Structure 1
Amino acid sequence: MSSSAVTVSVSAAEFARFIPDTMPELRTQVARNLSMFGSTYLCEQLFSLMKLNKTSHRSRLTDEHVNSILRISSAQSLTPNINELVLKMRH
């Protein structure tokens, strides 16, 4: 008698959902590993962005400017409130 295994493809982020509740230590370990990769990716992405913005041609950018550029660039969703901006411009 042969056993048949079902193969399911899931993303790394979805993997933790398939770990049974009876294995809390494994869930914790998976969460720790996934958080490492997410933060490493974000760090590399921001470093590349900083390198593009702070070139010899743009040497007058201060640390405050670069910090603002990185903050805006790393925002997951940024939606301007156009009505509020228009009201401020009218005053």
Structure 2
Amino acid sequence: MHGGKTFKQYKDEYWAKKTKPQLEPIIDRTTGKIWIQRAELHHRFIPQRAKWAPNWLKNNRFNLKEVSSLEHAKMDPYRARFAPKWIKEKFNLKCK
């Protein structure tokens, strides 16, 4: 049922073939707080938490999209949970 590469295996293989882009951090100029942006892989159509879906369906190039930390948090309320509180407030992120 869960045949295919795990997300970790796919992610390791994906980044081994590419250079991770250096993204600009988000800085709150009033408080000096910084959120370091990273390149991440977002599950577009079938989320990683979908227990019913086999790995080969969830973890493939059609379902995964390279995005920044902020883009990922804007698209995925489960990912937004891990953003700092000031980022959630500044960008009005909704969390689950």
Give the TM bin, normalised by the shorter chain. Answer: under 0.3
Higher relative contact order structure (alpha carbons within 8 Å, sequence separation ≥ 6): 2
Please give the TM-score of this superposition, normalised by the length of structure 1.
0.24
Report the structure, 1 or 2, having the larger strand content: 2
Larger radius of gyration: 1
Report the structure, 1 or 2, having the larger helix content: 1
Please give the TM-score of this superposition, normalised by the length of structure 2.
0.23
